[in-house]
Structure 1
Amino acid sequence: MLESYVDKTGRLGRFSCPLCLGDTLIPKGGVARFQTNFYVKADKLRSTYMPNVRCDVCERHDVADSRCLECDQNMCPNCCKTHLKMTASRDHHLIGLFVRDSTPNLRHRVLTRIYCDKHPGDELTFYCRKCDMTICLRCKVTSHENHVSDDLQEVARVTREHLNTKLEGAKLHLPLFHEQLNDANRYEENMVQTKDRLVKTINQRATKLHDKVDKLAATLIHDVDSEYNVETARIDSHRKKITQASKALAGQIHAANQAVMYGADAEIARNKDLLVQQMENITTTAERLQLPKLTLELSPSITLEGKIEESFGSLSTRRPPAVDIKIQEMAVFQVDDTFKVVSSICPVGDGEAWVTSGWKTGNTFIQCLRDQRQILRSHGNIDFSIIATLGQHPRGIALTEDNELLVCTGQSLAFQDYKDGHKNKVLRYSVDGRMTGEFGDEDQWKFMYPLRIAVNMTGDICIADCQRRCVTIHRRDGTLKAKYTGAETSGLKNSFEPRGLACDSRGFIFVTDNANDAIHLLDHSGKFIRLILTSNDEVYGPYATAIDSKGFLWVGARDATVKVFKVTYI
């Protein structure tokens, strides 16, 4: 059972003890080399103790007062003495079954004889104060003759009393842990209530805002309808006037036409001024009936992209200082004997990771291929198939919890070749290779050269833009949420140069700073916490980084070097 547990949880020659949760070194030879923990076996035996058991060894079957944990046999006092004198069983462990003290409670103690390494036939029975070690009688009268020594049983008794006092003091801390656990549970319940309350408040405010907008819209629509009704009535009236004027004009034209065609010369000459005046009146009437037109437009007081957030409200957060983080180097190795930089790391579990080093065509396996502008899918080994072919050079790649591929792309193969006017962005792909969207080329935010990308546990998208020298955090839809430029960090020797980045299960963001030989630690909102690794930790030129499923931090640097760190939250 222990071997299976260590196989599943062990890492880098160590594992977490299932009893005390302490970090434990696996001995050479594996789990089989561990000493048997007889205390666990004794504790189990005590819980199943039955009184008046008989000796399993002697023929008299006297009442047993001990049990051998190696032999699994109950023994009477005489058999116990004989058992511990025999060469084959002298180092066995016996537990007392009903040793009584002044209280009515039963006491159980594992009894074993430990022999001197220098004198294998002699039992350790004394304790040398000067040498701080247990010794046998022969050692006492020879090499420790002039040293002060005490009876081992008395030393053990005093030590037990001291340890019991310490244990009682330690037990006093258990209620504190229980209270802290209860406090964590209460905090979680409070967070659930806070979340529900805020969601309810936001929905209520949204409903009120919707109602207000609907009411305002209804008022404006009513005003538009009113203006429309007034204008349509005016149009109908004007139309009638035009119709009447048109009929009158037609009659006048007909009469004038008859007079011109059939009138006598004398009548034409005598009435010429009257006929001319009638023609002019007709023209004037037509010009006077032109319809004045209303101009009706909506004049927004604010743009929809602008101050609607101010009208709705914003979410404020007050978080206590970040927990302290302890980081410990666990392993360091080189993936190649060259000066190539480790460009990317992808943990695959069981303490293993795929690592890319260098930039030569054909050496890249886990990344999307930059030269061929392709995204590849692994089939469990180094056998790959093409998912999609891109129009730009793919760089970083990440997979969302919705199985959407996010790919950083650039018009130039290297970020050093970036030019003004390049439209570098992040593309969205389905796992079957269909492009579903893009972002990063809008007026709200334009990438210069997005190099690496990671998806945080919040669903936010984190991107290292090495040319703009910043890390940006985007919402799921790609809109900009926050950015980190390194200016918040004091003590940087050079300008911030983000390369790789990774997010852990708590939402922390780890960013490699190639120019300053450092790893920046940010919270999930992009706020700087501290430099978690620097050149003092012998981290030089960090480029790639990753967090595996067990929380270990992998850092790839120049000289094809990879370091693995254990991250502990205190």
Structure 2
Amino acid sequence: MSCPIYKESLLPTTRDVQNTSVNIVNIPVCITCVSSGKHKGHELTEFLENLSYRTQHLQKDLEELETRIYPRYEVLASDIQTEKAELETTYGKLTTAAGKEGEILYLEITAIVNRRKSDIQEMKNKHLSTLNKNTEDITQKIIELKQIISDLKSILKSNDISLTSTYKSRNSKFRTILPKVRVTLPSFTPQKLNKDQLREMFSSLSPISINTEHGRTIKSAEAVSSPPVKSVKSTEGASSLPVKPLLDEQRLTDTIDTEYRQLYSVSCLSDELVWTCGDNETMNILNLRGKLLTSIKTKSGNTPRDIAVTRDGNLVYTDSKTKTINLVKNKQIQTVITLQGWYPRYVCSAASNADREARAVVVVNQLGKLRFRYTGHLSNTKQSFDPVGITTDSQSHILIADFNNDRIDILDQDGQFLGYIQNVELPHGVCVDISDNLFVAEIVNAVVKKIQYLSTQCKSYISKQV
């Protein structure tokens, strides 16, 4: 809306009126322009109403930024910080492995070089021994020759007829000179180093793969102001019908405000009590009215990554920074597992697991043999499947929190898609109590929603033969 006004430079004169048309310019002005007198004879818009409308719009934008958009970016930043913290360990493993392989190769090369050196030393010793033997033989001959020369000189000097008459020459013995030992020295011929073959001796290293997913669009406040739970979208062709059928219209029975800034996980202790954990070091037991009943701090003071309640009613939580899985029993904390080389994130007591990086849910039997692998369903999904929470109910249903698509997928025990629950926003953790009520932890809104999605009346069905 605007306040119409004539620009002063365009105010018409009598001559202008006679010769030309008058241009009226629509310009927004402040409320003080009313007293200027230039609007006399013109209709003024309700500027105060316009200002109030725009103020309300600004307030809605501020609320959306503070409560919905900004926390989402905080979650992304937190995930990146966690990933960065794991880089040292991940790449440290690769560096250590490469170093160990280098050490093995170095030891092998050193062993080969040492064998070569040993062979050279053995050849040298043999050569020296041969020369020493040859020297000894020659020295012995020289001693004998010196003695004969000395004897001949003595005979000649004595003029003794008897010695001269009995002399026998031994020169013929020495005319054949002792053979000279000739040794051909060994030679070292270095091989040309083939660097390609040398590289092939090392283990291969796969290249890094960096993929950027399309950013998901955050729903506006108006888009999520509708009732938070809609009916399950069931698909036909299920292999069998459950004893408790899925409701056509689910009921949101309770919403629990947890007072965390970000809520990571929820685990059912009973129909009326739940454990929760979020963006600080405390794990809380809340009732359905949100009243805090018990609070436990982690042993290390770090934020717990995930929680689960055991069959005995004890609490288990993971601590990624200390790489531990811890048991809370009678308010006492015991570290039950300390992991080496990787960081624990999610924990559950069922024989199934959500592999978020692989975008898949993997279900195995008691022997660890693969039963099936679920990677999402094509019905009404705009983003890639992103499983972050998983639980089961008394009907052997598997319920999976799909973070990217704001919904809970429902599978039967054989992995057949049965339907989904919509209008849960950024579900991060899920659990089911003994009465088959679903509890969903919404990370950004930091609330737990209790949803009835199964009929309380059991029915009998006759399966159709296909």
**The two structures share one fold, judged by TM-score above 0.5:** no
Under TM normalisation by the shorter chain, which class is it? 0.3 to 0.5
Q: What TM-score comes out, normalization by structure 1 length?
A: 0.33
User: If you compute each CA radius of gyration, which structure gives the higher value, 1 or 2?
Assistant: 2
Name which structure has the greater RCO, CA cutoff 8 Å, separation 6+: 2
